Amino acid sequence: MKLTTRTAALALALTLPLGLAACGSSDEPDAASSSSTTSEPTPSETPSESPSESASTDAMAGKPFGPGCAQVPASGAGSFDGMSTAPVATAASANPLLKTLVTAVGEAGLVDTLNGEKALTVFAPIDSAFAALPKATMDAAMADPKGLLTKVLTNHVIAGKIGPDMIAGEQKTLGGGTITVSGSGEDFKVGDASVICGNVQTANATVYIVDKVLLPAM
């Protein structure tokens, strides 16, 4: 009996380490498999940056352009960001380049009309453009706000928001006349006026700031 008991105990002692080794061996492939799964990217993760890159490209394509853009304030209501949230007449009133235009629009009673339109394209003459007009012409326009002044101002406005890729060609104005836009890319002329800062966005209009007043045919 003693021999039998001792033999059984010895057999158990030899069998136990082998069993533990077998258990450890069966766990190792699972750990390796888990490590392999977490380290390799899945196919769905690979193109994750492409939408953001596309959005960045679209944002760059819509930026204002032209040498005159450097004169637009970098911050505040008259900046590009500030103007983008206000309707066009209100946006222009905050821009220091357009003081004479804003005064003329107010005299003609066009503020509500311009702000109330859903979509416009506006060619906005800078202050020096009005200063270059003969004094008699400017005086005559300001003396007739509902007639001549309104005709001059509406000759700078087109229905619809028109981007740089579609602006070239003959355009019908709200004043009933036609203006001709020539050029491409970031270089445009409206008649003999140059666009010095184009593709400026307001809440309801695309604005092209120009260096001359676009006088209608009389």
Query: Is residue 155 predicted with pLDDT exceeding 50?
Result: yes
Q: Are 199 and 74 in contact (CB under 8 A)?
A: no
Q: What is the mean pLDDT of residues 78-90?
A: 97
With tokens 């977490």, the residue in question is 38
pLDDT digits (tens, 9 = 90+) for 177-197: 999 999 999 999 999 999 999
Report which of 175, 113, 91 is spatially closest to residue 141, judged by C-alpha positions: 175
Q: Say if residues 199 and 110 touch (Cβ distance below 8 Å).
A: no
Same domain as 185, residue 113: yes
pLDDT of residue 163 exceeding 50:
yes
pLDDT tens-digit series, residues 30-69: 444 444 444 444 444 444 443 333 333 333 358 999 999 9
Does any domain span residue 53?
A: no
Q: In what order do the strands lie in the sheet with 205-210?
A: 157-159, 120-125, 205-210, 193-201, 187-190, 178-184, 169-172
Q: What is the mean pLDDT of the chain?
A: 81
Confidence at residue 6, expressed as pLDDT on a 0 to 100 scale: 44
Percentage of residues in the chain with pLDDT exceeding 70?
Answer: 72
pLDDT for residue 171: 97
176 shares a domain with 130: yes
Q: pLDDT tens digits, residue range 23-41?
A: 444 444 444 444 444 444 4
More confident residue, 84 or 58: 84
Tokens coding 138: 């400017």
Q: How far apart are CA 193 and CA 210, in angstroms?
A: 6
CATH (domain of 127):
2.30.180.10
Asked whether residue 70 is domain-assigned, the answer is yes
Read off the tokens for 118: 């859903």
Domain range spanning residue 12? Answer: 2-40
Residue 134 lies in a domain: yes
My answer on whether 117 and 186 are in the same domain is yes
Residue 14 is predicted with a pLDDT of 41
What was the pLDDT predicted at 59? 38
3-state class of 138 per DSSP? helix
